Every structure is written in structure tokens, then in C-alpha cells.
Amino acid sequence: MTYAPHKLVPEGFTSVPSLAALPAVNAASAVPDAVDAVAYIVTSDGDLPSVVAASRESLAAAGFEAETGTSIVLAGSGAPIVLVGIGAADEVTVDIARDAGAAAARATAKKGTRLAIVTDDLGLDAAALARALAEGAQLARYRYRALKAKPKDNALGELTLVVTGADEAAVASGIAAAVPGVRASVVARDLANTPAGFLSAENIADEAVSLGAAFGFEVEVYDKAALIELGCGGLLGVNAGSTDEPRMVVLRYKGGSDKHLGLVGKGIMYDSGGISLKPSDPMHLLMKIDMGGAAAVLGAFTALRDLGATANVSGWLMCTDNMPSGSATKLGDVLVARGGTTVEVKNTDAEGRLVMMDALVLATEDAVDAIIDIATLTGAALMALGKSTAALFGNDQALVDSVRAASLEVDEPVWQLPLEKKYRKALDSDIADISNMGGPFAGATTAALFLSEFVGETPWAHVDIAGTMQAETDESWRSAGATGFGARLLAQVAKEF
């Protein structure tokens, strides 16, 4: 099934197209006639494709030695031919193949909408190879086009994979296996790239309802009155300065087994910092992506049915913006979380943990077997691990290891950091049970320690995606803008749970 939701823009934008469906991807034994470009995957030490008249020496002189991710366009009659390097034959992995698919898609982006990729099996399982190529090509050609009347780039409309010598049915199965994960990432990217003025907490709740109907999960939406009744003081406190109501969106996927996984996503639709106002710098501009955790959870849910996940999976999306106003939560105020824990607010820009604490308590009350939360939580995670790797914490090593294994499967890297309990005292408060801000050091760890206070004995893992939420430029299959990091990762964990 393709992904074609309704517009994430206000009524009246009639010239703006709906968000694009995923391209058609097919397996074939030969390149079809109706293509706009053909990409050949080339190793640095094997034979060149028979269609290439040039020698290795002449290609090297032109700067192409078939190193991983490199490409060259060859002139000739008919559809343009692009050679895409994948490095030494004995070093090719599935991740490298995914990057090659991305390179092929990027190198042909200006040639048209119909692309064929030709390769041998590169020593890989044909289905795994096809899945990687399909993922890389589709995710690399992703662009957020909803607000451009005349996009300058070509959307990928049709992709044909030709794996010479491989069973075509195996290639087709790999293509089918790619669809749920690609869709999950595209949903997350679309949501996170949408400007906050077009995507409020109420809007994302509506999107969840539509996606649930399309992809087989139930959705419960809690408005402000319901949140007051539930005692969700964290979400309500962060919302206090906003003119838009908050929403808690609860997702339910029924896999049929007796296992129950809980997923919690931070959904700060826009983060001004509240009274602790952020400086007006490029990072402030990115704060529409501060709901990337909620977007990842919602994206993951669109994949569960097609992945055949057997666990029951529940998701909590904690959605509001964080704005300064006369009614906003002030520094020194005390909020009461679901369950009664009192929290002194020492910094209103440490708001993500406040909205998530309510959800973590609700998840434990729901008797889940494990909880994974995901959030654009701390600049400290970005400073420690950069923009390619997310920080991972947890109180249960088996669960942490399952997240690490899933990250390797989908190439969304994580790195486990210590949940050092010696730092817990940094969160002490003189007037409340805990404060929402630690000291100047180990910010990612103290944020994780704060969250751990609300999970009790339930196995729990925390993924901080503050560094990986966004790419400044195109990088492999990660397109510039919101990356959708975590959607494929969470879907993979749920599939194996």
C-alpha cells in the first residue's frame, strides 16, 4: 500500500499538491524501454558493464574509480547511463548497497522520474540487496514539496531493479520488504518538515486518525479537558503559554500475542523555549522538528501491519507547542505529573521531559512489558555524538541490546551512554520531588535519569535524537531537512519484540 495522506496545509492552498505517494518499484529481468535514466552499480575491482565503452583508465582519468557513493554520467544515445561506485567487491555490505541506491537516485535526479538500477548480486542475498537498493533510492529522492507550487526537482515516480542472475521473485520480495520502512520514514519526514503554523497538536491528532484507518491501528485522542481529568500536569504545564490546545494521541496496534510494547514520542510542535526563550539562531528555526520523536512513533505504526508484527504495540504522542506568554509556566513553578510526582521547573526549555513523564506513567499503568521513548531531547546528545548517531540509555540491557540490533539492521546508528546514577543528585529540588534540570555537565544523562524516575521497574530504553533529527545537506539516503530518524528503528524493534 502506498502513502498518500491528505494535505498538511490549511484550506485555501488549492495550488499545493497533496503529499506524494511512494513511487512504484518493480523487479525486472531487463531494463524497460520507458526509462529516463539507467544506473549501473560498479565495483572498483570487477568487470565493467557491457554497455560501457570506456576503459577503467579513462574513467579514472575522469575522476571515477568506483569508490563507494561516487558516480559519473556517460554520454550516449537513448536514456542517460550513470555508473555508481560501490567499492571493492569483497567489502560490499547491505548498508553500502543502500548508500549505492541513494547515489544512483541522486545522480539521476535531473534526468526524469523513471529510473532503472542494474547490478549483479554483489555477493549478497538477492532479497536483502533489493530491499537496500529500494530503500536507498526512495529515501534519497525524498523532498518536502507540499508548499512549493512548482518544485524544481523531479519526484521519483517509478523504479525498476534488475539484479542479473538473481531470482526475480526474490528481488520482488526484497522490494516489498522495503515498503513499510520507507513509508514510515516518509511519514515521519513529512510531519517533521511541515511548518508549525500548518501542523498543530490538533492537526497531528487528525493525521494520526487518518493514518490509523489506512494502516490498521486504533487511535484515541485526548483533548485538554481529558488531560486535566487524567492529571497530566507535565503536558498541561508546557502548554500553559499556548493559544493552541494540547493533545495526547494514543495509538493501539493489535498483533495478537501476549507481548505488549509501549512507545512514547515527544511531540513539541514548536519549541520557543517558553519563558527560557531560545536565541534567534539557526537552531531556533529548526524547532518545528522538535516533534520528531512523535513523528517517528507515528511513522513506525504505519509499518507494523505490513511487517507482520505479532506484539501488541501502544504509542503515546505528547503534543503541544512551548510558547512564552502571560499565562506560560514560569521558572520556579511546580508541576504535578500523572501519578503525583511534583516537579520544580528550573528551565522551561527543558520541556520535552515534562510532557513525556506523564506518558511514561500512563504506559506503566497500561502494564506494558517494555517502554521505548524517543525524543529530540538534549543539545548534549548532539555535542557528544554529532549528527549521525543517537544517544541510547536504558535500565534493562536486554531491551537496550534489542534497540542496538535494530539500529544495525536499518542503519540508524545509536550509541549507548551510561545511565550514571551518581548524577541523580543534580536533579534534586528544595521544594519538590525532583527538578527538570540538572547541572552544566552530562546533560543527556541527567535528562535520561529524569525520565527513568517515571518508569518504575518496567524495562525501559530512551533514544535521544536531538543530533540526528535533521540533515543540513543531502547525505546518502538522508535528504536535507527532517531525517525521520527512529521510524524504521522503532518499527524494526516492534517487529522483533
Catalytic residues: 278, 353
Residue 248's CB is within 10 A of a number of other CB atoms, namely: 26
CA angle 159, 164, 167 (to 5 degrees): 90
Distance, in Å, from the CA atom of 233 to the CA atom of 357, rounded to the nearest integer, reads 9
Q: Going edge to edge, which strands form the sheet with 24-27? A: 24-27, 158-163, 114-119, 37-42, 81-85, 71-74
Show the cell assigned to 378.
538534549
Distance, in Å, from the CA atom of 210 to the CA atom of 32, rounded to the nearest integer, reads 36
Helices (H) and strands (E) in the chain, counts: 14, 19
Distance, in Å, from the CA atom of 460 to the CA atom of 15, rounded to the nearest integer, reads 45
Show the cell assigned to 166.
538473481
Give the C-alpha distances (Å, rounded to integers) separating 156 from 140, 143, 295, 316: 10, 10, 23, 33
- The Cα diameter of the chain in Å comes to 77
Q: Going edge to edge, which strands form the sheet with 247-253? A: 218-222, 247-253, 312-322, 260-271, 370-375, 460-464, 390-394, 414-416
Question: What phi and psi, each to the nearest 5 degrees, are found at residue 314?
Answer: -115, 145
Question: What phi and psi, each to the nearest 5 degrees, are found at residue 90?
Answer: -85, 5
Quick one: how far is CA 255 from the chain centroid?
Answer: 22
In three-state secondary structure terms, 181 is helix
How many CA atoms, within 13 angstroms, populate the side-chain half-sphere of residue 197?
A: 4
